[in-house]
């Protein structure tokens, strides 16, 4: 949960223009987790959660 929270904070600050860019060094990265299934050491898909919340809360259309 802390990894997801750290990535969310970074993503929202970049999207809001508070900072120019950032790099999240977090564990677990979430690349093994599926939309509704934890896999390996990845309980949450941090990137997917961040992208979805940016779309919902800030109406961000494109996410790299």
pLDDT of 56 above 70: yes
DSSP 42: B
From 14, 24, 29, 32, active-site residue: 32
Number of structural domains found in the chain = 1
Question: Does 46 fall in a domain?
Answer: yes
Q: What integer pLDDT is reported at residue 16 of this predicted model? A: 93
Give per-residue pLDDT as tens, 3-52: 889 999 999 999 999 999 999 988 665 667 777 777 776 777 888 889 99
Question: Does 45 fall in a domain?
Answer: yes
Go through 5-37 and write b for each residue having 16 or more CB atoms within 10 A of its CB, e for each that does not.
Answer: eebbebbbeebeeeeeeeeeeeebbbeebeeee
Q: Which residue has the higher pLDDT, 56 or 33?
A: 56
- pTM comes to 0.75
Specify whether 31 is catalytic: no
Q: What is the C-alpha to C-alpha distance for residues 16 and 49, in angstroms, rounded to an integer?
A: 17
Question: Does 64 fall in a domain?
Answer: no
3-class SS of residue 22: coil
Domain span including residue 35: 1-58
């Amino acid at each position: 949960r802390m990894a997801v929270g750290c990535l969310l904070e970074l993503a929202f600050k970049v999207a809001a223009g508070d900072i120019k860019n950032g790099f999240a060094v977090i564990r677990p990265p979430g690349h093994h987790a599926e939309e509704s299934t934890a896999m390996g050491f990845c309980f949450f898909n941090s990137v997917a959660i961040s992208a979805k919340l940016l779309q919902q809360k800030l109406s961000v259309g494109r996410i790299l």
